[in-house]
């Protein structure tokens, strides 16, 4: 049986010059920092400075997460990445009936600007770049971040970071959506316009393939469906009257990095090439920054195992190396215990140390794109690009990303891939160390996971009740009414939303106001 990549593409035992017959390095490779950016988006890449080492953290209350952030900054992380709990991601307050039992469990609970103030207490917001993994209510969390920056005397043009704000992939793979697709795209466009004026250095969207990959997407599917979603966001922004070269330089991407090093390197190179050509030739972008696919990478949580968790340290190091060879702009390395529970402080520190070893104890930062010209990698890049473009064509034939989502196309394709992987693991065809191979006979050392104190939920609910008692209720009501009016018309909703949050309206109250006007998304039935 011939070998294949994760995308199901053939992988040869030996590659030679014939693999690149007719290949034009000027067109397909170029120089680092130049179109089509196959070799990287910057001429010097890591030879000038390494990638941003960004660690994803957040759990319990804002105060508890703030302590972890200070530990990460002291350990040398250059960027923070905020994990929000499920109620916050879904636009509910901590005292909502649907939030019961979920407050602070998979991230930090943020109900109002008061919580955001505590979360970033003592963090130099003008010096630390912050990424926020939030989608449907991304506008709210960004505005609260800006309001806290204002309180610290930091102007909007000094704030740097990213909001994920990629709701289309939520319909495909993750499920933390709130509003229907059309309303969600309208909100995304409003965020683009607002950031251009108010927070110009902020990356207003991180178009994500990571979560699709975690749901089972192959590398080719990850690239194709991510860039198809990106095309939809660009079209929405253009329809709203924005100029492509005004907003496109602030678009960013988020990909997974698996243990299959060669295909992952090829994936990142192919994605850059497709994006550059699409932005130049389809959307007429002339600014080179509009054609650059800049991306954050996270190592593959789905490949971590609860069995023999220390082996995950090896997996994460390999995955991180693939991301670095692929030319990532920032990187989060998963902790070895994340398949069991929230990372302990020690595990989070080891994850950061993994990046620091790669950056400072290896030679991978001393030359740009060391795989350039590799018979194997260049051939795999071409194959993966062709497979991704074919999937993108299928999405377009359906009518674009939103139409394909409504028909369940992407979700169905990813589920087929996930099922195939599960079958391969069950049969032993795909070996997973410690799970179906090399399981060992000895007793493993007992592991003590980090547990969120169940009393934290009660404390957060009490904090929320005090907020409602002490704020100006009439001011909140007026602000929410203004938000409903804007949402019912064509005005940018960001300005009245900022006023509501400044008056200490809660996440749930603001999202409920929008739910009243826009409704909620109902997924199609798929088989």
Q: What does 162-184 look like in DSSP terms, one character per residue?
A: EE----HHIIIII----S-HHHH
Angle, to 10 degrees, between the axis of helix 181-198 and the axis of helix 494-502? 80
End-to-end Cα separation, the chain, in angstroms: 31
Report d(CA 125, CA 67) in Å as an integer: 15
Q: Are 133 and 81 in contact (CB under 8 A)?
A: yes
Identify the three-state secondary structure at position 259: coil
Report d(CA 143, CA 59) in Å as an integer: 21
Report d(CA 182, CA 184) in Å as an integer: 5
What CATH number is given to the structural domain containing 292?
3.20.20.240
Q: What is the Cα Rg of the chain in Å?
A: 23
Q: Are 311 and 433 in contact (CB under 8 A)?
A: yes
The DSSP output letter for 280 is I
**Token pair recorded at residue 270:** 């192919």
142 and 44 within one domain: yes
Residue 78 above 90 pLDDT? no
Domain-ending residue, one of 371, 395, 427 = 427
pLDDT of residue 156: 95
Mind listing the pLDDT tens digit for each residue in 226-278?
A: 999 999 999 999 998 999 999 999 999 999 999 999 999 999 999 999 999 99
Spell out where 62-141 has E strands. Answer: 79-83, 129-133
pLDDT of residue 357: 97
- Phi first, then psi, for residue 437 (nearest 5°) are -150, 145
Non-local (6+) Cβ contacts of 321 within 8 A are: 261, 358, 364
Does residue 511 lie in a domain region? yes
Query: Starting at the edge strand that comes first in sequence, how are the strands of the sheet with 295-299 ordered?
Result: 202-203, 161-163, 129-133, 79-83, 52-57, 330-332, 295-299, 251-257, 205-208
- Phi first, then psi, for residue 342 (nearest 5°) are -60, 145
* Structural domains counted in the chain: 2
Report d(CA 141, CA 5) in Å as an integer: 39
Q: Are 102 and 78 in contact (CB under 8 A)?
A: no
What's the mean pLDDT in 18-27?
A: 85
Tell me the β-bridge partners of 256: 298
Report d(CA 26, CA 48) in Å as an integer: 25
Of all residues in the chain, the percent with pLDDT exceeding 90 is: 82
Of all residues in the chain, the percent with pLDDT exceeding 70 is: 97
- Phi first, then psi, for residue 373 (nearest 5°) are 85, -5
What's the mean pLDDT in 391-419?
A: 96
Does residue 64 lie in a domain region? yes
SS3 content of the chain, % helix, strand, coil (to 5): 55, 10, 40
224 and 75 within one domain: yes
Q: How far is CA 171 from the centre of its chain?
A: 15
Query: Is the previous residue joined to 36 through a cis bond, with omega within 30 degrees of 0?
Result: yes
**Token pair recorded at residue 20:** 């690149």
Does residue 503 lie in a domain region? yes
Mind listing the pLDDT tens digit for each residue in 85-113?
A: 999 999 999 999 999 999 998 899 999 99
Q: Are 414 and 172 in contact (CB under 8 A)?
A: yes
Report d(CA 112, CA 439) in Å as an integer: 47
Mind listing the pLDDT tens digit for each residue in 54-76?
A: 877 777 889 988 998 898 888 88
Residue 526 above 60 pLDDT? no
220 and 73 within one domain: yes
pLDDT of residue 443: 57
Q: Structure pTM?
A: 0.91
pLDDT of residue 315: 98
230 and 129 within one domain: yes
182 and 39 within one domain: yes
pLDDT of residue 77: 75
H helix or E strand, kind and range, residue 207: strand 205-208
Report d(CA 411, CA 170) in Å as an integer: 10
Query: Closest by alpha carbon to 320, among 46, 125, 15?
Result: 46
Report d(CA 5, CA 453) in Å as an integer: 43
Non-local (6+) Cβ contacts of 489 within 8 A are: none
Identify the three-state secondary structure at position 360: helix
For residues 273, 132, 319, 172, the Cα torsion angle rounded to the nearest 10 degrees is -70
255 and 307 within one domain: yes
Residue 174 above 50 pLDDT? yes
Domain-ending residue, one of 362, 395, 427 = 427
Q: With bands split at pLDDT 50, 70 and 90, how would you rate the model's confidence at 341?
A: confident
Does residue 19 lie in a domain region? no
Query: Closest by alpha carbon to 265, among 391, 364, 163?
Result: 364
Domain limits for position 366: 29-427
238 and 321 within one domain: yes
**Token pair recorded at residue 379:** 């051939």
The owner of tokens 């997973």 is 432
367 and 288 within one domain: yes
33 and 111 within one domain: yes
179 and 39 within one domain: yes
pLDDT of residue 1: 46
- Phi first, then psi, for residue 78 (nearest 5°) are -95, -5
376 and 476 within one domain: no
Domain-ending residue, one of 427, 453, 481 = 427
275 and 156 within one domain: yes
Does residue 105 lie in a domain region? yes
Tell me the β-bridge partners of 130: 80, 161
Does residue 457 lie in a domain region? no
The owner of tokens 């595990």 is 347
**Token pair recorded at residue 222:** 């990850």
Does residue 9 lie in a domain region? no
Does residue 448 lie in a domain region? no
């Amino acid at each position: 049986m011939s070998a294949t990549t994760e995308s199901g593409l053939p992988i040869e035992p030996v590659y030679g010059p014939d693999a690149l017959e007719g290949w034009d390095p000027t067109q397909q490779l170029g120089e680092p920092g130049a179109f089509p950016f196959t070799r990287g988006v910057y001429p010097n890449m890591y030879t000038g400075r390494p990638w941003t080492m960004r660690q994803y953290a957040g759990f319990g209350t804002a105060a508890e997460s703030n302590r972890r952030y200070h530990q990460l900054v002291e350990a040398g992380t250059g960027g923070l990445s905020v994990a929000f709990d499920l109620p916050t991601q879904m636009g509910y307050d901590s005292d909502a009936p649907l939030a019961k039992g979920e407050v602070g469990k998979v991230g930090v609970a943020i109900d109002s600007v008061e919580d955001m103030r505590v979360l970033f207490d003592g963090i130099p917001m003008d010096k630390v770049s912050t990424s926020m993994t939030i989608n449907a209510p991304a506008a709210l969390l960004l505005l609260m971040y800006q309001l806290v920056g204002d309180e610290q005397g930091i102007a909007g043009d000094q704030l740097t970071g990213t909001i994920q704000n990629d709701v289309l992939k939520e319909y495909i793979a993750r499920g933390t959506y709130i509003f229907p697709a059309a309303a969600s795209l309208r909100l995304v466009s409003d965020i683009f316009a607002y950031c251009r004026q108010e927070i110009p250095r902020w990356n207003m969207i991180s178009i994500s393939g990571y979560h699709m990959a975690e749901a089972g997407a192959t590398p080719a599917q990850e690239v194709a469906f991510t860039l198809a979603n990106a095309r939809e966001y660009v079209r929405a922004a253009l329809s709203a009257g924005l100029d492509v070269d005004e907003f496109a330089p602030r678009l960013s991407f988020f990909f997974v990095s698996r243990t299959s090093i060669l295909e992952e390197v090829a994936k990142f190179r192919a994605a850059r090439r497709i994006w550059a050509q699409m932005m130049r030739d389809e959307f007429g972008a002339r600014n080179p920054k509009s054609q650059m696919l800049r991306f954050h990478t996270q190592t593959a949580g789905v490949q971590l195992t609860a069995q023999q968790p220390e082996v995950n340290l090896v997996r994460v190091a390999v995955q991180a190396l693939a991301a670095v060879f692929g030319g990532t702009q920032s990187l989060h390395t998963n902790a070895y215990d994340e398949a069991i529970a929230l990372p302990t402080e020690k595990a989070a520190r080891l994850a950061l140390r993994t990046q620091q070893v790669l950056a400072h104890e290896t030679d991978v930062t001393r030359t740009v794109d060391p795989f350039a010209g590799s018979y194997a990698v260049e051939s795999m890049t071409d194959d993966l690009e062709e497979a991704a473009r074919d999937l993108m064509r299928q999405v377009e034939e359906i009518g674009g990303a939103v139409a394909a989502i409504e028909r369940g196309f992407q979700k169905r394709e990813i589920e087929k891939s996930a099922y195939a992987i599960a079958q391969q693991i069950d049969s032993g065809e795909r070996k997973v160390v410690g799970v179906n191979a090399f399981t060992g006979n000895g007793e493993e050392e007992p592991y003590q996971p980090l547990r969120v104190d169940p009393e934290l939920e009660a404390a957060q609910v009490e904090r929320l009740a005090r907020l409602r008692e002490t704020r100006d209720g009439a001011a909140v009501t007026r602000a929410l009414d203004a938000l409903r009016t804007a949402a019912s018309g064509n005005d940018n909703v960001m300005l009245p939303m900022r006023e509501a949050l400044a008056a200490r309206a809660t996440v749930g109250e603001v999202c409920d106001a929008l739910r009243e006007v826009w409704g909620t998304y109902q997924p199609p039935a798929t088989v």
